[in-house]
Amino acid sequence: MNRLVILASDGLPVGAILAIVFGVIAFIVLAILIGNIKIVKQTEEYIIERLGKYRKTWTTGFHVLIPFAERIASKVSKKEQIGDFLPQAVITKDNVTMQIDTVVFYYVTDSKLFTYGVTDPTSALEKLTATTLRNIIGELDLDTTLTSRDTINAKMKEILDDATDPWGIKVTRVEVKNILPPKDIREAMERQMRAEREKREKILLAEGQKQSEILIAEGQKESAILTAEAEKVSAIKRAEGQAESILKIKQAEADAIRLINEAQPSKQVLQLESLKTLEKVADGKATKIIVPSEIQNLASLKDIINSDK
């Protein structure tokens, strides 16, 4: 009021001064109202408190806060989230210490529970994942741990999903990203795998050599069979040719004899033919000739020959 009196004393009318004051107040009120207008996105929910107490959960759309009485306690994302936590040191049933890295996929089902159920949901989920992993691995030996990722994933998902229900969290998937045994065990495993690979290589080479020898033997067998078949056919053909040749020779001899019989040669002609045969047999090489009794009388035979000439 004193301020207005001072302004009035300076020459400003009281009405103008009041108009300025009301304008400033209206601007402040408008600014406050605009500042309390909120638009919630599709993938978010807002938790509203009134005078420190939970009031409601805002979903997608246009909303206005009551100034000085209500506030946004938290903004909760409804998207599926990924918890990629640090590797955890675990001990197997056979007392082997290893590092296991896990990834948890989850989303918020109840924004109110997510806000008030636990102080830090992400940190709580990480700690729960670590303790659950230790409990599960503690019941398995090293070899089972290395070969049972699917079993570990399924058990962890079931346990985490049940445990996080009071926090408004739904665990959709758990993956063991990496299993890192101690260095000496890794080296032993590498030596074992190398030995297994060398063993498989030798087995494959032996199998290949065996198959090669079998194929070669089968080829030789087939070749021998074909060769024997060819020799058999060739021998049959040669025998048939010889038989046919002998048959033709005998046929020719029979024909010759038949022709001679049909000609009815004289005794002298037969003796002459016998003499020619003897000459062919001797052929200038024989040193001893056996003369048949039928042609012993060479003188009479010469007379026959001369008479024919």
H-helix or E-strand containing 280? helix 267-282
Please, what's the b/e burial string for 69-83 (b: 16 or more CB within 10 A of its CB; e: otherwise)?
Answer: ebbebeebebeebeb
Between CA 210 and CA 197 the distance in angstroms is: 20
Residue carrying the six token digits 């198959």: 211
Dihedral of the alpha carbons of 57, 58, 63, 67, in degrees to the nearest 10: 30
| pLDDT single digits (tens) 9-25 | 455 577 777 778 788 88
Between CA 90 and CA 142 the distance in angstroms is: 11
| pLDDT single digits (tens) 111-156 | 999 999 888 998 999 999 999 999 999 898 888 888 888 999 999 9
Residues paired with residue 102 on neighbouring β-strands, in sequence order: 176
Domains of the chain from N-terminus onward: 2-77 (no CATH), 81-181 (3.30.479.30), 266-308 (no CATH)
Most confident of 139-143, 165-169, 219-223, 236-240: 165-169
DSSP state for residue 74 in the 8-state scheme: E
Between CA 255 and CA 217 the distance in angstroms is: 56
Dihedral of the alpha carbons of 59, 120, 106, 143, in degrees to the nearest 10: 180
For the chain, the average pLDDT equals 81
Between CA 89 and CA 293 the distance in angstroms is: 128
pTM here is 0.57
| pLDDT single digits (tens) 237-287 | 888 888 888 888 878 777 777 776 776 666 666 666 666 665 565 555 555
| pLDDT single digits (tens) 180-204 | 888 887 777 778 888 888 888 888 8
Diameter of the chain by CA atoms? Answer: 202
H-helix or E-strand containing 169? strand 169-180
Please, are residues 74 and 47 in contact by the beta-carbon 8 Å criterion?
yes
